């Protein structure tokens, strides 16, 4: 049982980490938490379902067209929910805008695709057995693809020029503007990458959890992972989410009904001991 | 004289117009269900069933010569929105009766408002708490989970289960049926080796199934709503568990079967309705529904259809739309045939008297036997 719980925990943690990466990118770019991220994850699942079953594309076609669609969605989302409010003196207006977007996206999806949950075949069907434990090939796919994306995001941000521009914009937009960095383009790229990550996450999660409007509820654990790992740290978000996945999985040994309560209790305890999270850095603002 | 005649003529014409207008006033029945939110799929089926009932009634000339109109209100699948929706629909419309959701927790949240309003209400829920409700104007077109739980436990015994694992939802369905099952298992000498309640909005059932595997059970009983039912069936199949499995009614419904990707094969369920029923008028009704909506009906469609039809029958029989007349008529029901069941009043709000034990074969729920009160 413990092997099975560990495998499940890591698999779910990778899924949460995919969502968390996209969230962190937007937090770093514009400084607000995107409360519509779960619904964007869900939208990714619906878009890939549409490409697979209504447009009838092969897997590689779904991946390519899906990325294009997610990037377009990212641009549309940025221009509707962030750009008009970017100069507002209160950051909370952008947050409220994302809350509204989350409701709107959920109901838009219902209007387009209906309310009945949809099924998506796994990319690779079947399970692999490791003794008494088993791992669905889809979970294995998530771990591999998730790992690849994490490496890709790391290389993009740490080793590429575009990544450095995006980091500069995220750290100090005013200074970035002063040195001639097109911050608007950098923010747009961040949104497009963020939504691509969440869209891919939705595509990978859909065969496991059905394509439904409640798929976005998985974002709650991604939020918890980000906070646990250290707000603003991509590495922290990944580690935090995997920890959340493992805690969630192993908490079944203690209780089945209050699994989620245990996850958030552990989160609170960690924050009491280390308020900045596991990898978070203490940042003090000078007067 | 001329003026007097003109005046009298005008009054007479006015009276005629008013009487014609009154005679043309439709009879309104309210329907509250989830049309948005996470439970909107069940609302869609319920609406189709209700619309079909309205169509049938109006095709036969309506109720008391008046057209039947259904007023829909969205309870969003949650308790607080449901109470607001109920108050809104009863305040804004002159309803003769109201049909409520199949989610017992939502109906129970509205119960006090239903009692205060006094309006006859038929829900499609089955919680034991509904069975013991003292609200005189609240009924259900289902059999209670108490009866269903005993049926499930007895069938588990028939299947030869000796060590049963229970996995149930955190809602009124799961928390209501689980103790009934355990009590009946104890009477039958069946050991309950594991009882787990999953979290609300749960998607990942692998840890729960891992615990079930570890319990060394020889049978599984699960109570869940349709989307969760599909995920549970998939998780059981992936775990390679080859034991008899019995689910609550949702396991045999269309959403669960379609979304289980074949993992539903062999599962048993106790359900008030089977879309493969062969008895008339249910068989013809299923065919008509399938042709009209392009998909098979599910339990929610059939129960909501019957709820609307029962109200119309009550209004016709009493020649009245007064609340008390309809309520008193419903309390005299005996062996009234419907689509999902036969309806009788037996002193409790639960009007349905029968349900099916079904097994899922080739992605369809096939009736194994019929259980009656």
Helices (H), A78-182: 92-113, 137-159, 161-171, 173-178
Q: Do A136 and B238 touch (CB under 8 A)?
A: yes
Bond before B118 cis per omega within 30 degrees: no
Of A220, A241, A185, A229, give the one whose Cα is nearest residue A41: A220
Residues of A in contact with B198 (CB under 8 A): 256-257
Task: Report the distance separating Cα B76 and Cα B238, nearest Å.
Answer: 33
pLDDT higher at A233 or A150: A150
- Which candidate in A107, A210, A265 is best for mutational testing of the B interface (most B CBs within 10 A)? A210
Q: Do A116 and B255 touch (CB under 8 A)?
A: yes
Domains B22-143+279-354 and B146-271 share a fold: yes
**Number of Cβ pairs closer than 8 Å across A and B?**
95
pLDDT band at B17 (very low <50, low <70, confident <90, very high): low
Domain residues of chain B, as ranges?
Answer: 22-143+279-354, 146-271
Q: Do A8 and B239 touch (CB under 8 A)?
A: no
Nearest Cα of chain A lies from the Cα of B274 at a distance, in angstroms, of 19
Kindly give the pairing relationship between strand B364-372 and strand B354-361: antiparallel
Residue among A213, A218, A249 minimizing CB distance to B207: A249
pLDDT > 80? residue B11 = no
Domain residues of chain A, as ranges?
Answer: 2-216
Kindly identify which residue of chain A lies nearest to residue B168, measuring between CA atoms: A257
Kindly identify which residue of chain B lies nearest to residue A13, measuring between CA atoms: B204
Q: Do A210 and B259 touch (CB under 8 A)?
A: yes
Residues of A in contact with B204 (CB under 8 A): 8, 12, 208-209, 248
Predicted confidence at residue A283, as pLDDT, reads 52
Share of chain B above pLDDT 70, in %: 97
**Per mean pLDDT, which range of A14-28, A41-55, B118-132, B316-330 is the poorest?**
A14-28
Write the CB contacts of A134 (distance below 8 Å, at least 6 apart in sequence). A4, A7, A127, A128, B238, B239, B240
Return mean pLDDT, chain A.
87
Q: What is the ipTM of this complex?
A: 0.86
pLDDT in tens, A212-238: 988 988 888 898 898 888 877 778 888
Q: Do A119 and B203 touch (CB under 8 A)?
A: no
Residues of B in contact with A249 (CB under 8 A): 206-207
Q: Do A210 and B213 touch (CB under 8 A)?
A: no
Return mean pLDDT, chain B.
91
Q: Do A208 and B170 touch (CB under 8 A)?
A: no
Give yes or no for a contact between A9 and A250, defined as CB atoms under 8 angstroms apart.
yes
pTM attached to this predicted model: 0.86
CATH H superfamily, domain B22-143+279-354: Response regulator (3.40.50.2300)
Residue among A116, A127, A258 minimizing CB distance to B238: A127
Residues of A in contact with B170 (CB under 8 A): 257
pLDDT in tens, B129-140: 899 999 999 999
pLDDT band at B208 (very low <50, low <70, confident <90, very high): very high
Residues of B in contact with A121 (CB under 8 A): 261
Per-residue pLDDT, averaged over B79-85, amounts to 93
Per-residue pLDDT, averaged over B207-217, amounts to 92
Nearest Cα of chain A lies from the Cα of B198 at a distance, in angstroms, of 5
Kindly give the pairing relationship between strand B245-247 and strand B219-223: parallel
Predicted confidence at residue A287, as pLDDT, reads 45
Residues of B in contact with A116 (CB under 8 A): 41, 44, 255
Q: Measured between alpha carbons, how far is residue B124 from residues A121, B102, B302, B317 in Å?
A: 33, 4, 10, 23
pLDDT in tens, B155-197: 999 999 999 999 999 988 899 899 999 999 999 999 999 999 9
pLDDT > 60? residue B72 = yes
pLDDT > 90? residue A135 = no
Task: Report the distance separating Cα A199 and Cα B332, nearest Å.
Answer: 57
* CATH T-level assignment (fold) for domain B146-271: Rossmann fold (3.40.50)
């Amino acid at each position: 049982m413990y092997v099975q719980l560990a495998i499940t925990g890591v698999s779910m943690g990778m899924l949460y980490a995919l969502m968390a990466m996209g969230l962190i990118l937007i937090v770093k770019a514009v400084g607000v938490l995107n409360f519509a991220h779960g619904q964007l994850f869900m939208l990714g699942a619906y878009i890939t379902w549409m490409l697979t079953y209504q447009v009838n594309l092969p897997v590689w076609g779904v991946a390519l067209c899906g990325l294009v669609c997610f990037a377009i969605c990212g641009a549309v989302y940025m221009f509707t929910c962030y750009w008009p409010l970017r100069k507002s003196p209160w950051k909370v207006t952008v947050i409220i805008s994302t809350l509204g977007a989350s409701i709107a996206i959920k109901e838009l999806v219902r209007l387009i695709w209906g309310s009945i949950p949809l099924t998506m075949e796994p990319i690779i069907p079947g399970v692999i057995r490791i003794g008494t434990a088993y791992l669905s090939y889809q979970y294995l796919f998530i771990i591999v693809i998730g790992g690849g994306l994490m490496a890709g995001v790391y290389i993009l941000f740490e080793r590429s020029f575009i990544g450095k521009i995006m980091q500069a914009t995220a750290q100090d937009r005013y200074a970035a503007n002063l040195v001639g960095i097109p911050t608007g383009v950098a923010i747009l790229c961040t949104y497009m990458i963020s939504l691509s990550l969440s869209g891919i996450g939705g595509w990978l999660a859909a065969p496991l959890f059905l394509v439904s409007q409640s798929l976005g509820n998985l974002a709650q654990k991604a939020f918890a992972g980000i906070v646990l790992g250290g707000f603003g740290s991509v590495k922290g978000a990944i580690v935090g989410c995997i920890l959340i996945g493992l805690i969630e999985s192993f908490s079944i040994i203690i209780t089945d009904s209050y699994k989620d309560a245990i996850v958030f209790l552990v989160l609170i305890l960690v924050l009491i001991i280390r308020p900045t999270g596991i990898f978070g850095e203490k940042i003090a603002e000078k007067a | 004289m001329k003026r007097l005649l003109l005046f009298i003529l005008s009054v007479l014409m006015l009276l005629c117009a008013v009487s014609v207008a009154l005679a043309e006033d439709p009879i309104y029945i309210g329907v509250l269900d989830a049309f948005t939110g996470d439970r909107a799929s069940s609302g869609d089926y319920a609406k189709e069933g209700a619309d079909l009932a309205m169509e049938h009634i109006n095709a036969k000339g309506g109720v008391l010569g008046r057209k039947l109109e259904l007023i829909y209100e969205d309870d969003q699948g949650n308790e607080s929105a449901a109470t607001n929706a109920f108050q809104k629909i009863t305040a804004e419309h002159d309803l003769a009766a109201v049909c409520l959701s199949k989610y017992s927790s939502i109906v129970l949240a509205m119960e006090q408002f239903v009692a205060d309003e006094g309006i006859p209400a038929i829900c499609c829920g089955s919680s034991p708490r509904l069975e013991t409700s003292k609200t005189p104007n609240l009924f259900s077109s289902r059999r209670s989970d108490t009866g269903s739980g005993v049926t499930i436990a007895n069938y588990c015994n028939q299947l030869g289960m000796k060590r049963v694992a229970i996995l149930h939802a955190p809602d009124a369905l799961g928390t209501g049926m689980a103790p009934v099952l355990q009590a009946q298992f104890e009477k039958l000498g069946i050991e309950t080796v594991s009882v787990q309640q999953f979290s609300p909005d749960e998607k990942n059932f692998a840890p729960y199934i891992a615990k079930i595997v570890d319990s060394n059970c020889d049978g599984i009983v699960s109570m869940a709503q349709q989307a969760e039912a599909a995920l549970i069936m998939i998780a059981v199949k992936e775990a390679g568990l080859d034991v008899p499995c019995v689910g609550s009614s949702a396991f045999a419904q269309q959403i669960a079967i379609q979304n289980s990707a074949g993992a539903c094969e062999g599962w048993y369920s106790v359900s008030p309705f089977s879309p493969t029923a062969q008895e008339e008028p249910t068989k013809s009704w299923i065919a008509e529904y399938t042709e009209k909506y392009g998909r098979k009906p599910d339990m929610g469609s059939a129960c909501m259809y019957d709820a609307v039809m029962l109200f119309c029958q009550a209004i016709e029989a009493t020649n009245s739309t007064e609340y008390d007349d309809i309520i008193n008529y419903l309390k005299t029901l005996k062996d009234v045939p419907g689509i999902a069941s036969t309806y009788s009043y037996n002193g409790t709000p639960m009007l349905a008297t029968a349900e099916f034990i079904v097994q899922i074969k080739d992605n369809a729920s096939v009736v194994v036997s019929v259980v009656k009160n």
